[in-house]
Amino acid sequence: MKTEKKRRLRRNTRRSLINYAIVIAAYAIVQALNAGGNIKSSLQGQLVPICAYIVMAVSLNLVVGVSGELSLGHAGFMSIGAFTGIVAATALQAAIPAGWVRLMLAMVAGALFAGLFGLLVGVPVLRLRGDYLAIVTLAFGEIVKNIMNILYVGIDEKGVHIAALEGSRLVLSEGGVPIIKGPMGAVGIAKLSTFTAGFLLVLVTLFVVQNLVDSRAGRAILALRDNRIAAESVGLSVTKYKLMAFVTSAALAGAAGVLYGLNYTGLAAKKFDFNTSILVLVFVVLGGMGNIRGSIIAAALLTILPEALREFADFRMLAYAIVLIIVMLATNNPTMQQFFAAVMEKVRGTFRELFQKSGETVKGGGDHE
Amino acid sequence: MSFLSNVISGISLGSIYAIIALGYTMVYGIAKMLNFAHGDVIMVGAYVCFFAVSAYNLPPVIGVLLAVALCTALGMLIERMAYKPLRQAPSLAVLITAIGVSYFLQNAALLWWGSDPKKFPAFIVVGEQNGVSLFGGQLRITYVAIVTVVACVAIMAGLIAFTGKTKMGKAMRACSEDKGAAQLMGINVNATISMTFAIGSALAAIAGVLMCSAYDTLLPTTGSMPGIKAFTAAVFGGIGSIPGAFLGGLLLGVIQIFTQAYLSQELADAIVFAVLIVVLLVKPTGLLGKQIQEKV
């Protein structure tokens, strides 16, 4: 019993450590390739978005995979985070010249704001279940997109000014700078995000999510997902734990939004629409629900995929759709699964034979039979 | 008088949402899946009708029938190719596949028919007029609006009769309650699901043609937003319920037109969705949805 428990613990820790190692190794490889000039500029531009999408996917996985609630409005939190971060970074421009400090503060601000909205939305909404929760989160995402679309924010020496609907209402003194201009979005942003910052954010996200999942609270969240009624009857508070996962996820999405937003000189609210939410959901489902490593890999590969499919030119997105359908069919259809299992078994068998033959020559066969 | 004209355009838009929502709710009730490709079937239907009428000079009635026939076939084909192999899979896997199908249809349409907006011809005309004027020209009702509302009511009545009276309709209700038990009673579950997709897609084609007649531009992405709106309408009214989809669609359309007219053009969508959230918080199963008791 005791040893069983010990091994169990170690397995979780090992799994987490492998995830850190994968991310660090990927970062090292990319940096090494970059130093050698082996990365195409088109891919180089993708590095920060890849990090942002990895954070998005891992955080959404906390809601969809670990907590078992379908959310279709994750891009809404990203949007809130991005625009908060942009305003914060621009407002602090004079006070703090160091870019990385501003980026960090912007991320904290974005995460706090997005987390706050997560709390506001989560408290009433987590009472709903299944597809109803999905549709409300979808509605939330659309509302955020709409409101961001009419928001005008500017800054002058008196502070930050906010107006809705018409730019003319935004009265700025001489030397004031408009930051967000309604449908045009944020313009003239100082690019602060770097690949290293993205890499660090991914590490922080992994740290937060993995430790949450492996904690007592994480086990409570898993128990509520697996059997809500049984978990409730042993005294676990549904609202508390579901909210914990939801708010953490929203805050991380906000930080990802800041990373994404400060990577471009201009950003419109349209970018964070329903399709972005769906894109992140695709990462999570393809990577495997509740599987953090899967989310990381799926987010990275699928962000690169449209670039890699560039040779198909116009057929690029069509090919993306076909790949998506085929992967879903291949991983979820029983017949296909059996076929793949059989193939894998054959491959494994061949390896085993090879291994046994070489093993026999060395040790004369090491198996126990 | 502008109030009355807003009511009319609200009901007409709402009827379009209702027709789409009826298809959504049928498919959801039986397959228990959010068919995200539904909105794109609308778009395909509209394109088929557009090309039939404007490129091949077929009479509009033939164009509509052609759109309905092709979309029905398309819906059944999608079901057979993409959803049937995943019958036992977790519902999210099916959802993602549906999203894949939706991307596929949009991008295939983009390649095939191009990204330039098509101007849909106004073909519901009597003589040279596309509508009637009342009260000395103060109030104008387009024929499209009249046809849409009539079609919507007829479709809803037809669906209620179909699911209530016919053998196939009863089979559908049985499947939506318990597939395993339905199979044991000798119902061909696969054929029933296929039939549901056929009906849903046929409705989508009709909605597509009506929608593009009322709002005349046609793009490969035309279907996606009405698809989402209609889905919210279906949830609004209580998903799985036919009168609920009708009511939800009408209300959504009226709310949208009224916020556009009296509050704000830009915030119309946000207000529609905010109303949806409030309704779901007060009545979590939608307006006419059934409360399903949870069992241990």
CA A30 to chain centre: 20
In chain A, what are the domain boundaries? 2-315
User: Cβ A132–B232 below 8 Å, yes or no?
Assistant: no
- Show Cβ contacts of residue B255 under 8 Å, excluding neighbours closer than 6 positions: B10, B271, B272, B275
User: Cβ A285–B95 below 8 Å, yes or no?
Assistant: yes
| Most confident stretch, A34-43, A219-228, B125-134, B286-295 | A219-228
B238: nearest CA partner in chain A: A132
Give the closest of A129, A289, A320 to B92, CB-based.
A289
ipTM value of the model?
0.81
Chain B interface disruption, residue of A329, A336, A337, A340, most B CBs within 10 A: A329
Distance from CA of B270 to the nearest CA of A (A): 4
On chain B, the residues whose CB falls within 8 A of the CB of A234 are none
The pair of structure tokens assigned to B210 is: 């009506």
Q: What values do phi and psi take at A269, rounded to 5?
A: -65, -25
User: Cβ A320–B82 below 8 Å, yes or no?
Assistant: no
Please give the Cα distance from B136 to B280 (Å, whole number): 43
Least confident segment among A115-124, A166-175, A303-312: A166-175
A129: nearest CA partner in chain B: B284
pLDDT of A368 higher than 50: no
Give the rounded percent of residues in chain A with a pLDDT score beyond 90.
23
* Structure confidence at residue B240 (pLDDT): 80
- Predicted confidence band of residue A172 (pLDDT cuts 50, 70, 90): low
User: Cβ A318–B104 below 8 Å, yes or no?
Assistant: yes
Distance from CA of B213 to the nearest CA of A (A): 26
The pair of structure tokens assigned to A201 is: 């954010």
Give the rounded percent of residues in chain A with a pLDDT score beyond 70.
87
- Show Cβ contacts of residue A59 under 8 Å, excluding neighbours closer than 6 positions: A74, A205, A209, A248, A249, A250, A252, A253, A256
- Predicted confidence band of residue B291 (pLDDT cuts 50, 70, 90): low
- Higher-confidence residue: B279 or B152? B152
User: Cβ B92–A333 below 8 Å, yes or no?
Assistant: no
CATH code for residues A2-315:
1.10.3470
- For residue A164, the surrounding DSSP H or E stretch is strand A159-164
Tell me the pLDDT tens digit for each residue of B216-264: 788 888 888 888 888 888 888 887 888 889 999 999 999 999 988 887 7
Please give the Cα distance from B21 to B27 (Å, whole number): 10
On chain A, the residues whose CB falls within 8 A of the CB of B286 are 132
* Structure confidence at residue A361 (pLDDT): 47
On chain A, the residues whose CB falls within 8 A of the CB of B85 are 329, 332-333, 335-336
Coil, helix or strand for A168?
helix
User: Cβ B93–A325 below 8 Å, yes or no?
Assistant: no
| Most confident stretch, A204-213, A354-363, B93-102, B262-271 | A204-213
What average pLDDT does range A119-144 have in this prediction?
82
* Structure confidence at residue A199 (pLDDT): 92
- Higher-confidence residue: B87 or B184? B184
Three-point CA angle B205, B211, B214, nearest 5°: 145
- Predicted confidence band of residue A9 (pLDDT cuts 50, 70, 90): low
Q: Which amino acid is at B102?
A: S
* Structure confidence at residue B154 (pLDDT): 94
Chain B interface disruption, residue of A127, A332, A336, most B CBs within 10 A: A332
* Structure confidence at residue A117 (pLDDT): 93
- Predicted confidence band of residue B40 (pLDDT cuts 50, 70, 90): very high
- Higher-confidence residue: A335 or B169? B169
Chain B interface disruption, residue of A225, A328, A331, most B CBs within 10 A: A328
**Nearest to residue B37, comparing CAs of B73, B79, B67, B91?**
B79
* Structure confidence at residue A173 (pLDDT): 64
The pair of structure tokens assigned to B29 is: 């009730």
User: Cβ A131–B239 below 8 Å, yes or no?
Assistant: yes
Please give the Cα distance from A366 to B11 (Å, whole number): 79
Distance from CA of B138 to the nearest CA of A (A): 31
Mean pLDDT of chain A: 82
- Higher-confidence residue: B154 or B179? B154
* Structure confidence at residue A42 (pLDDT): 74
Q: What is the DSSP string of A15-75?
A: HHHHHHHHHHHHHHHHHHHHHTT-S-HHHHTTHHHHHHHHHHHHHHHIIIIIS----S-HH
Please give the Cα distance from B41 to B54 (Å, whole number): 20
User: Cβ B93–A331 below 8 Å, yes or no?
Assistant: yes
- For residue A152, the surrounding DSSP H or E stretch is strand A151-156
* Structure confidence at residue A166 (pLDDT): 60
- Show Cβ contacts of residue B229 under 8 Å, excluding neighbours closer than 6 positions: B17, B252, B256, B272
On chain B, the residues whose CB falls within 8 A of the CB of A143 are 269-270, 273-274
Given a contact cutoff of 8 angstroms between Cβ atoms, the answer to whether B154 and B148 are in contact is: no
Give the closest of A64, A132, A324 to B103, CB-based.
A324
* Structure confidence at residue A169 (pLDDT): 63
Give the closest of A64, A132, A333 to B86, CB-based.
A333
**Nearest to residue A138, comparing CAs of B165, B100, B232, B215?**
B232
Tell me the pLDDT tens digit for each residue of A47-89: 899 999 999 999 999 998 888 888 888 999 999 999 999 888 8
Chain A interface disruption, residue of B27, B91, B102, B103, most A CBs within 10 A: B103
Q: What is the DSSP string of B125-174?
A: -BTTBSEEEETTTTEEEEHHHHHHHHHHHHHHHHHHHHHHHSHHHHHHHH
Please give the Cα distance from B204 to A38 (Å, whole number): 50
Tell me the pLDDT tens digit for each residue of A189-244: 778 888 899 999 999 999 999 999 989 999 999 998 888 889 989 988 888 899 99
Interface residues on B facing A, Cβ-Cβ cutoff 8 A:
34, 82, 85-86, 88-90, 92-93, 95-97, 99-101, 103-104, 106-108, 110-111, 228, 231-232, 235, 239, 264, 266-267, 269-270, 273-274, 276-277, 280-281, 284-286, 294, 296
Distance from CA of A322 to the nearest CA of B (A): 7
User: Cβ B97–A165 below 8 Å, yes or no?
Assistant: no
Given a contact cutoff of 8 angstroms between Cβ atoms, the answer to whether B42 and B209 are in contact is: no
Given a contact cutoff of 8 angstroms between Cβ atoms, the answer to whether B236 and B252 are in contact is: yes
- Predicted confidence band of residue A367 (pLDDT cuts 50, 70, 90): very low
Up-side HSE of residue B255: CA atoms within 13 Å toward CB? 21
CA A284 to chain centre: 9
